[in-house]
Amino acid sequence: MKRLDNIEIVKANYENTKTLVSKYYIAHKQDKFLAKNFTHESLLKDINYLVDNGLGFVAIQNNISVGYLLGYKIKTLFFNESGIYSPDFAVYYDNDYVLYRLFEEYYREMKNESITHHAITLLTPSQDDFLVQLGYGLRVMDGVRFPHKNSPTDSLVSMIKADICDYNILLNLYKEHIQYMSSSPIFLEETNPELELTDILNDNDKIVFKILYMLEVVGFSVIDKLHAPGGKYFKDSETLGIKGTHILSNFQNKQIGSRYIELLDNYCIENGYNRLAVDFESMNYLALKFWSKTFHISAKTYIKYIGK
């Protein structure tokens, strides 16, 4: 079908993505929340990798590249089904219509390859309305925080590093957490709490903090020193990642979690970390309220079911 808009959608290659990568870099390089690893060179490398290994299209108008959409093919993305994941840096467009045309071609190709889901991350503030019009729903939010030294208070909250000897103390808490995350409305896949907790406590790349209220353990938090959650360009070697935090339900909403973040800030400063990163399911109301209070929401991931 001949279009009147003179936009042509073609397969992405090194050449037709190059100027758009520069535009993306210029548009975001002042973003104070991006980490040091956000460089033009690294961006170009990522896009070239996607050109070679992922699915990617470029919109051309009057011989000029005006938008790109690329993504990684993932065997099980959500709901145990195949999908494509487009990180924030893999999407650039001059206007909504360009993105619409890119999506149109993208879905056609996904259908051909029987890929059922598309997940896309946009930096905030982003144009959620347009994605909602196209049938996307918000699924995951990423948060970033720059720790600062907090002075000691007379708070009754403290945190202590746990080890494998704390397994029994932590197990019920961990079970409550898994139960919470796998129930309505979140429905994350239920995992084996015993096995998972043992693995975490034995993993040298992770730290588990017991959170105490008046010397009673009422919560825990799992910290990942190497693999922080969230987008690639929001973390670096000085980032601590928060992988899961839970306060026993009887103790929630009493500022224990907030005080824990202050203590964690102090831990970061004392141990040379200058950034904390977290992600959470947007439908987790408690997490949304809690993390948005103390973290900058850096990116949002949306998902659309294309169909079989």
Ligand X SMILES: CC(C)(COP(=O)(O)OP(=O)(O)OC[C@H]1O[C@@H](n2cnc3c(N)ncnc32)[C@H](O)[C@@H]1OP(=O)(O)O)[C@@H](O)C(=O)NCCC(=O)NCCS
Say if residues 59 and 78 touch (Cβ distance below 8 Å). Answer: no
| Least distance to ligand X, CB of residue 237, Å | 23
Stretch that binds ligand X, among 21-29, 73-81, 148-156, 248-256 (CB under 6 A): 248-256
- Cα-Cα-Cα-Cα torsion 152, 153, 158, 161, nearest 10 degrees, comes to -10
**143 is a site residue for ligand X (CB under 6 A):** no
**299 is a site residue for ligand X (CB under 6 A):** no
| Least distance to ligand X, CB of residue 202, Å | 21
Q: Total residues at the site for ligand X (CB under 6 A)?
A: 19
Say if residues 242 and 222 touch (Cβ distance below 8 Å). Answer: yes
Residue with tokens 């898994």: 178
Long-range CB contact pairs, 17-24, < 8 A, 24+: 17/47, 17/48, 17/51, 17/56, 17/58, 17/65, 17/68, 17/70, 18/44, 19/64, 19/65, 20/58, 20/65, 20/67, 20/68, 20/92, 21/47, 21/92, 23/92, 24/89, 24/92
| Least distance to ligand X, CB of residue 220, Å | 9
**256 is a site residue for ligand X (CB under 6 A):** yes
- 193-202 helix and 167-182 helix, angle to the nearest 10 degrees: 120
Point out the residue whose Cβ comes nearest to ligand X.
257
Cβ density class 259-278: b for 16+ within 10 Å, e for less: bbbbbbbbbbeeeebebbbb
**247 is a site residue for ligand X (CB under 6 A):** yes
**103 is a site residue for ligand X (CB under 6 A):** no
**172 is a site residue for ligand X (CB under 6 A):** no
Which residue in the set 114, 172, 253, 271 belongs to the binding site for ligand X (CB under 6 A)? 253
| Least distance to ligand X, CB of residue 245, Å | 5
**167 is a site residue for ligand X (CB under 6 A):** no
Sites for ligand X among residues 265-294 (CB under 6 A): 280, 284, 286-287, 289-290, 293
| Least distance to ligand X, CB of residue 214, Å | 14
Gap between the Cα atoms of 221 and 244, Å rounded: 6
Sites for ligand X among residues 181-210 (CB under 6 A): none
**145 is a site residue for ligand X (CB under 6 A):** no
**173 is a site residue for ligand X (CB under 6 A):** no
| Least distance to ligand X, CB of residue 289, Å | 4
- Decide whether 108 or 293 has the Cβ nearer to ligand X: 293
Q: Give the Cα-Cα-Cα angle 62, 65, 67 (nearest 5 degrees).
A: 125
What is the binding site for ligand X (CB under 6 A)? 180, 244-247, 252-258, 280, 284, 286-287, 289-290, 293
